[in-house]
Amino acid sequence: MIPMTDLEFTQLAELIKRRAGIHLKAEKRALLAGRLQKLVQDKGLESFSEYYNLLQGRNHTSAAELTQLVDRISTNHTFFMREQGHFTYFRQQVLPELLQRQGERDLRIWSAGCSSGEEPYTLAMLIDEAFSGDGRRGWDTQLLATDISNSALEAARRGRYSAEALGALPERWARRYFEPEEKGYYTVKPAIRSQVLFRRFNLMDEKFPFTRRFHAIFCRNVMIYFDQATRIRLVHKFYEMTEPGGYLFIGHSESLDRERTAYRYVMPAVYRK
């Protein structure tokens, strides 16, 4: 068992915050050491200081190491229909507004921190139901789903979930949008998978590379891992990337400082530009 000193924790925690935005308080030292223990041992290193020095390099190896580190410390816990009221509001209020616009025939939706895919696939299914018959013709309805974790994105792209996971969904969705596999698992059908563009993206990047703004941004239960200053900066960037009249959905355990954001409060965890 490799011990982690106070200095090693401080160095790694500062690096993690700088690169991934995740704020680890002192009481998380045991958690961090536990998640990295086997990783450090497998690399033949004798201390967390050696591991920190490896991460500090400026080559392809250190970049890959940083990606692996983020995968180890990221918490990718989610499930279908989490905080269901958001999806109800999106279906009843947001989608009808977007579909009634004159001229534009695209829906620009971003699932930021998409984890293993349940959120963006749910949005894709809601969008699919909003169109009837040939109503989708001429529309661009592909939505963007991003995460910093490669392992989470790999799971999301597979779109494979247990029967238990599908239990929270309407029964008609399970029949219409999923294909049964062996051993009680189901896979999202290609027609829905093709509507979600999965990409690795770090919300801590200085600039967002998108050329057009989004009509709705979902970033739920992500900012709970950030400190206040990081949250304020991120929300400002989200605001810049939101279309006028567009929406930001955050987690119910999160909130925006109304004195420091230009978003207008709509309902718990829903804000509008």
Q: Are residues 187 and 226 in the same domain?
A: yes
Helix (H, G, I), strand (E, B) or coil at 218: strand
Shared-domain flag, residues 130 and 261: yes
Are 243 and 126 within one domain? Answer: yes
- Residue 191 CB neighbour total at 10 angstroms: 11
134 is catalytic: no
Q: Identify the pLDDT of residue 176.
A: 95
Q: Does residue 78 sit within a domain?
A: no
Distance of CA 214 to the CA centre of its chain: 15
Q: Which residues lie below 8 Å from residue 83, measured CB to CB, with a gap of 6+?
A: 220, 251, 252, 269
The number of beta carbons lying within 10 Å of the beta carbon of residue 212 is 9
Alpha carbon of 120 to those of 48, 217, 251, 259: distances in Å?
Answer: 37, 11, 15, 30
Question: Of the listed 19, 35, 72, 213, which one is catalytic?
Answer: 35
Percentage of residues in the chain having pLDDT higher than 70: 95
User: Do 36 and 104 have their domain in common?
Assistant: no
Can you give the pLDDT at residue 134? 62
Mean pLDDT value across residues 97-114: 88
- Residue at which a domain ends, from 40, 73, 106: 73
Q: Are residues 141 and 36 in the same domain?
A: no
Task: Please state, in angstroms and rounded to a whole number, the distance separating the CA atoms of residues 134 and 108.
Answer: 20
Question: What's the number of domains the chain is made of?
Answer: 2
Judgement on whether residues 159 and 223 belong to the same structural domain of the protein: yes
Q: How far is CA 232 from CA 142, 147, 251, in A?
A: 28, 19, 15
- Residues 199 and 123 occupy one common structural domain: yes
Of 61-65, 140-144, 218-222, least confident by mean pLDDT is: 61-65
Catalytic residue among 108, 147, 220, 231: 147
Q: Taking 80 as the threshold, does the pLDDT of residue 79 lie above it?
A: no
Strands of 160-162's sheet in order across? 160-162, 185-188, 178-180
CATH for 52: 1.10.155.10
Flag whether 55 is in a domain.
Answer: yes
Single out the residue of 139, 138, 66, 152 nearest to residue 109, CA to CA: 139
Q: What is the pLDDT of residue 261?
A: 93
Q: Compute the distance between CA of residue 145 and CA of residue 123 in angstroms, rounded to an integer.
A: 10
Tell me whether residue 1 is in a domain: no
Domain residue limits at 218:
84-272
126 is a domain residue: yes
pTM listed for this prediction: 0.84
How large is the average pLDDT for residues 115-128?
95
Claim to verify: residue 57 and residue 114 sit in the same structural domain: no
Q: For residues 255 and 214, state if they share a domain.
A: yes
> What's the pLDDT tens digit per position in 6-45?
999 999 999 988 888 888 888 888 989 998 998 899 899 9
Give me the pLDDT at residue 4, please: 92
Q: Is 35 a catalytic residue?
A: yes
User: Residue 212's pLDDT is what?
Assistant: 95
- Where does a domain end: 73, 108, 128? 73
- Give pLDDT tens digits for 152-197: 999 999 999 999 999 989 999 999 999 999 888 999 999 999 999 9
Cα-based distances in Å from 34 to 31, 40, 67, 75: 5, 10, 18, 14
Measured in whole angstroms, the distance separating CA 107 from the mean position of its chain's CA atoms is 18
pLDDT at 120: 97
Same domain, 156 and 228: yes
CATH, residue 202 = 3.40.50.150
Answer whether residue 26 is part of any domain.
Answer: yes
pLDDT value at position 273?
97
Domain membership of residue 225 (yes or no) is yes
Same domain membership, residue 56 and residue 137: no
**Above 90 in pLDDT, residue 62?**
no
Does 138 reside within a domain?
yes
- Predicted confidence (pLDDT) at residue 135 exceeds the cutoff of 70: no
Q: Is residue 79 part of a domain?
A: no
- Where among 73, 100, 128 does a domain terminate? 73
